[in-house]
């Protein structure tokens, strides 16, 4: 499997991680071209169902990047995401998805190099695992989470 065959969706916080991706790009730091970045206003706005939907829609790996603890533009969004991320890590095996296919990191706008290294490492991990087998009916649109986390 080539690196281009691996599909990775990255949910990046507008105020920090997305800025880190921009810093990496501005400095011409190379990171895998198969990482598709979706800008979200805050990692705290990411619902676990969004991660599952990314897998359902064809992602082989999902990355979430947010502000460092205590640096959230919205005060506590990254704390909220931290709790949700633990839930996602516990849920993935229930849907037949390896935990290694999901990763989250705290990356600030000035950490372009950290963003680059994280994306390379994650792409290598996903490449070594191989594509997500989609024959399992467990990944369905009925996986919705409305509980407050």
Q: Is 128 exposed, middle or buried (0-12, 13-18, 19+ CB in 10 A)?
A: exposed
At 134, the pLDDT band (50, 70, 90 cuts) reads confident
**What's the pLDDT tens digit per position in 96-113?**
999 999 999 999 999 999
Q: Please give the pLDDT value at position 141.
A: 46
Tell which residue, 128, 141, 130, has the closest CA to residue 95: 141
* pLDDT tens string 3-23: 568 999 999 999 999 999 999
Q: Write down the pLDDT at residue 135.
A: 62
Q: Of 147 and 65, which is predicted with more confidence?
A: 65
Please give the backbone phi and psi of residue 100, each rounded to the nearest 5 degrees, phi first. Answer: -65, -15
Domains of the chain, earliest start first: 3-129 (3.40.50.960)
Task: Give all strands of the β-sheet with 102-106 in edge-to-edge order.
Answer: 35-40, 8-13, 61-66, 102-106
Query: Residues with Cβ < 8 Å from 23, sequence gap 6 or more?
Result: 109, 110, 111, 112, 115
pTM attached to this predicted model:
0.88
Question: What does the pLDDT read at residue 144?
Answer: 53
Confidence at residue 133, expressed as pLDDT on a 0 to 100 scale:
87
Containing H/E element for 93? none
């Amino acid at each position: 499997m080539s690196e281009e065959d691996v599909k990775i969706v990255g949910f990046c916080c507008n105020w920090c991680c997305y800025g880190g991706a921009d810093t990496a790009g501005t400095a011409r730091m190379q990171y895998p071209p198969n990482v598709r970045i979706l800008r979200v206003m805050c990692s705290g706005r990411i619902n676990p169902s969004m991660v599952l939907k990314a897998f359902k829609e064809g992602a082989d790996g999902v990355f979430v990047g947010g502000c460092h603890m205590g640096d959230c533009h919205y005060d506590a969004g990254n704390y909220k995401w931290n709790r949700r991320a633990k839930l996602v890590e516990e849920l993935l095996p229930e849907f037949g998805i390896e935990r290694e296919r999901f990763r989250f990191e705290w990356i600030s706008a000035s950490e372009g190099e950290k963003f680059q290294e994280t994306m390379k490492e994650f792409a290598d991990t996903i490449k070594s695992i191989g594509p997500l087998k989609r024959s399992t009916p467990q990944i369905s649109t009925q996986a919705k989470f409305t509980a407050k986390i």
